[in-house]
Amino acid sequence: MLKMLTFFGSIAVGTYEMIQMRKQWTYYDRFYPEPTELQKTLFRDAMMFKESAYSESSVQDKLLSLESPEVR
- pTM (two decimals): 0.45
Q: Which amino acid is at 68?
A: S
27, containing H or E segment:
helix 2-31
User: CA 33 to CA 26: how far, in whole Å?
Assistant: 10
Sequence-ordered list of residues with C-beta below 8 angstroms from that of 1, at least 6 positions apart, any chain: none
Cα dist from 24 to 12, 15, 16, 21, whole Å: 18, 14, 12, 5
Residues of the chain with pLDDT under 70: 71-72
pLDDT value of position 72: 64
- Give the model's pLDDT for residue 43: 93
Domain ranges in the chain are 2-67
